[in-house]
């Protein structure tokens, strides 16, 4: 259910951080997210195109089905797990909104060798159809809470007024 021009309702299913690069992921029930630090407490939160990573539940389930197993989503090492959307190349430039928080999708998250260390074959199962998720830049600060409703929407055209 990829959306290229429509506003799609989504739900935040999970939040996770790591204190340093190779540290295990820690699940959270809520977290502030800022332009300066990304998801509070996450080692990768510095400003840039890969400030926050987001994984689609539907894509994660497809990868697990291909492997014939069920794995915790935190094995992917993404910051956020959302349901209601599947990402693809047309997602670049689109926005994820949760209350006052706005994330801009900047690119695909490439599955790395750590995926096979978590489960053999996971890296290959995440490669097709952007199953590994997307990288985002924080455009406006906000707070997240698991279960929170949001929306996946196209970025407003330059020079247009955005209504909220």
Asked if residue 102 is part of any domain, the answer here is yes
22-26, 57-61, 91-95, 160-164: lowest mean pLDDT where?
160-164
Alpha helical stretches, state H, the chain: 57-67, 114-118, 122-126
Asked if residue 65 is part of any domain, the answer here is yes
Asked if residue 34 is part of any domain, the answer here is yes
Give the whole-angstrom CA distance, residue 82 versus residue 116.
23
Asked if residue 162 is part of any domain, the answer here is no
Residues in the chain: 164
Asked if residue 161 is part of any domain, the answer here is no
Instruction: Give residue 60's domain range.
Output: 8-153
Alpha helical stretches, state H, 3-146: 57-67, 114-118, 122-126
pLDDT, tens only, 36-63? 999 999 998 989 999 999 999 999 999 9
> What CATH number is given to the structural domain containing 115?
2.40.33.20
Number of domains in the chain: 1
pLDDT, tens only, 1-21? 444 468 999 999 999 999 998
Asked if residue 77 is part of any domain, the answer here is yes
Asked if residue 145 is part of any domain, the answer here is yes
């Amino acid at each position: 259910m990829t959306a290229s021009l429509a506003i799609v309702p989504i739900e935040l299913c999970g939040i996770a951080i790591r204190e340093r690069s190779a540290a295990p992921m820690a699940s959270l029930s809520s977290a502030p997210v800022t332009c300066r630090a990304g998801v509070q407490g996450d080692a990768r939160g510095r400003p840039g195109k890969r400030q926050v990573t987001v994984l689609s539940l539907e894509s994660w389930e497809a990868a697990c089905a291909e492997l014939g197993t069920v794995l915790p989503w935190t094995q992917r090492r993404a910051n956020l797990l959302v349901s209601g959307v599947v990402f693809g190349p047309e997602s670049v430039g689109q926005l994820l909104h949760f209350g006052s928080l706005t994330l801009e999708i900047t690119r695909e998250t490439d599955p790395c060798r750590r995926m096979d260390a978590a489960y053999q074959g996971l890296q290959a199962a995440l490669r097709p159809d952007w199953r590994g998720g997307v990288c985002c830049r924080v455009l406006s600060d906000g707070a997240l809470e698991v279960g929170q409703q949001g929306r996946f929407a196209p970025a407003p055209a330059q020079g247009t007024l955005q209504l909220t």
